[in-house]
Structure 1
Amino acid sequence: MSNLKLLFPLLFVLHAHFTQTLIQAIVFREYIGANFANVRFSDVPINPNIQIHFILSFGIDFTSGSSPKPTNGRFNVFWDSDNLGPSQVRSIKQQHPNVKVALSIGGDTVNNKAVNFTVVSIDSWVSNAVSSLTSLIKQYNLDGIDIDYEHFKAEPSVFAQCIGRVVTILKRNRVISFASIAPFDDGDVQRHYMALWRSYGGVFDYVNFQFYAYDRRTTVDQFLRYFDAQSANYNGGKVLVSFSTDSSGGLKPENGFFTACERLRSRGKLNGIFVWSADNSKANGFRYERQAQALLAKG
């Protein structure tokens, strides 16, 4: 009997470890807050059997106001913080142990002005970014960071050093536990992100590749070829598939996205799904989020 008493706790620990490993391996991610659509974390369906990441959109190193200007790495809040504030982050994480919340930095535009990645010097940008991001992440009780710059006024090597060093420091200081990049198939974008990947790929846990930036006539077979191409570009990375619930392109759920996911899963290549964005999905009751999470939860 004494041996059995020792065995049962061990089996419980092993089961718990297996469950946690499964949750970490299968992830559903969704951007939230960019469009100020009054969407809350609690509005979005949450399947308890997979890891869920909400990604606040966006933290931007620009000034606020009608004529925003770059701040050389000093980040400010540009998401719907009234509905997605520190208390809401704390509450959703307490209610759902499988939920983590991240911050996406960069984005496309602010007040209709392109968010250009702009630096005065590598050292000054890194110093300002580490300080301001650490403050924001601790204030909001966040877990990770996502890199989503889409316009650049710096060479790829400078972008790589700035972003790579900041993420490395934030991880080393245990400010964040995971990080991702969000490139898409554009020549200048790919030059910058692939330079970052070559130098610092090891510090990134996910590649949120924006497959919805492809043509809206994308077929299932084309989508799978795109996935293979980007998996080769970001070799060794955990490339996630994606769809949008706005008017963007790519392979939409109604046109075969989930068929493509099933094919990837049959090949052992379905690492997770992310969606742009909860703000747009609110109108249809998060129909496709439920479908995506149920598909991932099948293991």
Structure 2
Amino acid sequence: MALPKLNLVITLFFLQVLITSHTSVQAAPSNSNVFREYIGAEFKNVKFSDVPINPNVEFHFLLSFAIDYDTSGSSPTNGNFNVFWDSANLGASQVSAIKKRHSNVNVGLSLGGDTVNGAFAYFNPSSIDSWVSHAVSSLTSIIKQYNLDGIDIDYEHFKSDPNTFSECIGRLIKTLKNNGVIKFASIAPFADAEVQSHYLALWKSYGHLIDYVNFQFYAYPKGTTVSQFIDYFKTQSSNYNGGKVLVSFGTDGSGGLSPENGFFTACKMLKSEQNLHGIFIWSADDSKKNGFRYEKQSQDVLAISH
């Protein structure tokens, strides 16, 4: 009498295996045509319209930066954000104009950054609840004023423990998404122990709310080779398991793997493995001097049958 029940258990087991296998196939890596560019931090009079935009990519401008410091940049404000990008050239009317002209363009803002008025821009909350409350209010106001689509988290210096950072940023992203204020959220870590401890804590608790990992591969040493770059990519893809880790380079002469030394070779290798989730560049301000040649090349790589 127990035999039919045993057969049923075995059948259910194999069905579960099949479902699990199918799910893992569905979740397999895939290429993406997302191109992202930071803009506005260097105040070099770069306009959205200066940057070439390929209609066959998903293009994100990231305004750099909104910082929770007072307008003089001298004191932290516990989540009350102010605009520190070049708003004269990258204002609300310019955002609306570039989005109207190019239906594939989204514009987000990046939070934090490296410095403010020459000093480190610290993540420095008084408490989780107060920081989140202030941040949701001030950022909602800025995002609506500028008609923005998402946020990027680029804090690089901390006066908080990783758990506080995780809870503040995670709750901020969750609230803004739940309120319909943003469509996407990304993080911009790099290979530094303190930085990684904060972002990996955030990823562990709130990674399901984060759409892109703008990993700063240009923070690796200058002269990085193609094989080293691929190894770095694999390491960070493992750290941010399940995330869309975007590859990157800087046009400011910083480190990492440069276009001249094989960046696009590495991209094509990753693309052949279905691991090219997108490319981002730091930054449009610095690219102006070379006529945005690498922006064009990056988008060409992404646009070809992604």
Instruction: Output the TM-score relative to the length of structure 1.
Output: 0.91
Distance 1:255 1:160 in 2: 36
Match in the other structure for 1:51: 58
Distance 2:81 2:116 in 1: 13
Match in the other structure for 2:81: 75
Match in the other structure for 1:282: 288
Match in the other structure for 1:63: 70
Match in the other structure for 1:37: 44
2:298 aligned with 1:292: yes
Match in the other structure for 1:261: 267
1:152-177: CA deviation from partner (whole Å, max 9, x where unpaired): 00000000000000000000001000
Distance 2:89 2:251 in 1: 20
Alignment partner of 2:254 out of 232, 237, 248:
248
Distance 2:161 2:150 in 1: 25
Letter in 2 for 1:34: A
Distance 2:207 2:137 in 1: 23
Match in the other structure for 1:130: 136
Letter in 1 for 2:42: N
Letter in 1 for 2:187: I
Alignment partner of 1:103 out of 94, 99, 109:
109
Distance 1:217 1:291 in 2: 20
| RMSD over equivalenced CA pairs, Å | 0.8
Tell me the SS of whatever aligns to 2:64.
strand
Task: Please tell me whether the aligned partners of residues 230 and 266 of structure 2 are also in contact (alpha carbons under 8 angstroms).
Answer: yes
Q: Which runs of 5+ in 1 are unaligned?
A: 1-23
Structure 1 stretches of 4+ with a deviation exceeding 2 A read: none
Distance 1:35 1:74 in 2: 22
Task: Please tell me whether the aligned partners of residues 52 and 295 of structure 2 are also in contact (alpha carbons under 8 angstroms).
Answer: yes
The structural deviation recorded for 1:204 is 0.4
Letter in 1 for 2:302: L
1:6-52: CA deviation from partner (whole Å, max 9, x where unpaired): xxxxxxxxxxxxxxxxxx94100000000000000000000000100
Identity %: 68
Letter in 1 for 2:239: N
Distance 1:64 1:222 in 2: 41
1:1-299 mapped onto 2 (5 Å cutoff): 25-65=32-72, 68-298=74-304, 299=306
Match in the other structure for 1:5: none
Letter in 1 for 2:156: E
Distance 2:189 2:33 in 1: 21
Distance 2:276 2:253 in 1: 25
Instruction: Output the TM-score relative to the length of structure 2.
Output: 0.89
Distance 1:28 1:86 in 2: 22
Distance 1:82 1:146 in 2: 21
Tell me the SS of whatever aligns to 2:299.
helix
1:104-151: CA deviation from partner (whole Å, max 9, x where unpaired): 000000011100100111000000000000000000000000000000
Task: Please tell me whether the aligned partners of residues 32 and 276 of structure 2 are also in contact (alpha carbons under 8 angstroms).
Answer: no
Tell me the SS of whatever aligns to 1:69.
coil
1:177-201: CA deviation from partner (whole Å, max 9, x where unpaired): 0000000000000000000000000
Match in the other structure for 2:27: none
Distance 2:214 2:32 in 1: 15
